[in-house]
Amino acid sequence: MDPTGPWRTLHTAHFRIHFRPAYRDVALLEAREAERSYALLAGELHPPRGVVDLTLGDDVDASNGFTTVFPTSRITIFATPPAGDHGLLFYDSWLRLVTTHELTHVFHLDRTKGIWSALQQVFGRAPGLFPNEYQPSWAIEGLATYYESRFTNGGRVRSSFHTQVLAADRAAGASRSPWDALLFTRWADGLVPYAYGSRFLQSLAGVAGDSVVPRFVEATSGQLIPFRVGRQVARVAPGRALATEWIRGTRPAPGSDAGQPPARGGRWPGSRPGVRSRPSGSAARARRPAATRASRRRGCSTACSAASPCRGCRRMDAASPTCATQGTARASSGCGMPPRFASLPGTA
């Protein structure tokens, strides 16, 4: 992030939002999204200490964000919406999704209890005194991905790309365990903790109730050995074990929707409210009236009947005399002319 040049700061109840003057409108939108995410997360997790510094940047053509809780809680967000990252394409609002994700990290990593809280009372917010930072990456990133999917109409728990990552591992007989679903491993490397961790927590919440996730965070925030997450799973979900619940959440049977929530509002996540997707392919052609089908193509008059299009140009009538093939209804090779959409319904 380039610190030179003018910067402005927008103050809200829980945030200081830093931005360049040119991005004032984006900063105002981000202020609303940040407070919205804070209110939703505060109903689930213990709120962080102090005010959160949030910096909006647009220095690179990348869609990302990162968080630190040392020396204070700080979030940096790149405002550019994702275009080529398949794992990030399921969102209703990019700022909403990335803010919820990064703010979950603040709520999660800032939380300290027991001996860790006592040590911070003596040594301050020193690196190494935040117990949840020692957890495996699937727990840290999986939690943030779980809440980004719960509190937005998008999120990667619903992502078909993450479904394919898990399915590819399953098909190869190489599904990850809690001990190797980590960063810096084999393909799909950086996607693995997000995909496995979020599906595990989603599945656990489905069988043990939504409150199991906040209770899991509280339990890990005070344990002496912070990376022993398996014991805390059994503690907050009696009768459940990490090993068995992991398999249930991350290795669903082929064709099932286990571990994946339905889209909200009866529409695809990431689509705009009130906009319905149009059918395509044969289904669209089957639903279109014959007269409309006939009017779609212009510039070819192969001798086709309305009931049986020719094999080549798919003409549904013989209204235009410009095609020289003069084939039969079923055997013509067609003229290969592209369709012209001059007479689509609603354009006249």
pLDDT digits (tens, 9 = 90+) for 145-201: 999 999 999 999 988 888 899 999 999 989 999 999 988 777 787 899 999 999 999
- Average pLDDT over every residue of 120-145: 95
pLDDT digits (tens, 9 = 90+) for 257-288: 544 554 444 433 333 443 343 444 444 444 44
- The answer, yes or no, to whether the previous bond of 226 is cis (omega within 30 of 0) is no
pLDDT for the residue 16: 98
Percent of the chain with pLDDT over 90: 57
Query: Rounded to an integer, what distance in angstroms lies between the CA atom of residue 182 and that of residue 159?
Result: 19
Helix, strand or coil for residue 83?
A: coil
Give the domain ranges of the chain: 1-81, 111-264, 291-348
pLDDT for the residue 252: 63
For tokens 């004032």, what's the residue? 24
Highest mean pLDDT of the ranges 90-104, 176-190, 282-296, 327-341: 90-104
pLDDT for the residue 194: 94
pLDDT for the residue 247: 93
CB proximity list for 207: less than 8 A, separation 6 or greater: 237, 240, 245, 248
Mean pLDDT of the chain: 79
- Average pLDDT over every residue of 313-321: 41
**pLDDT over threshold 90, residue 89:** no
- Average pLDDT over every residue of 99-125: 96
pLDDT for the residue 254: 53
Nearest CA among 99, 77, 81 for reference residue 90: 81
Task: Outline where DSSP puts E strands in the chain.
Answer: 8-11, 15-19, 52-57, 65-68, 74-78
CB atoms within 10 A of CB 316: 21
**CA quadruple 334, 337, 339, 341: dihedral positive or negative?**
negative
Helix, strand or coil for residue 54?
A: strand
Highest mean pLDDT of the ranges 54-63, 199-208, 333-342: 199-208
**Two structure tokens written together for 206:** 């489905």
Query: Rounded to an integer, what distance in angstroms lies between the CA atom of residue 167 and that of residue 253?
Result: 9
> How is 163-180 classified by DSSP, letter by letter?
HHHHHHHHHTT-PPPTTT
pLDDT for the residue 106: 98
Q: How many residues make up the chain in this entry?
A: 348
In this predicted model, which residue has the larger pLDDT, 223 or 316? 223
- Average pLDDT over every residue of 123-150: 95
Query: Rounded to an integer, what distance in angstroms lies between the CA atom of residue 107 and that of residue 99?
Result: 12
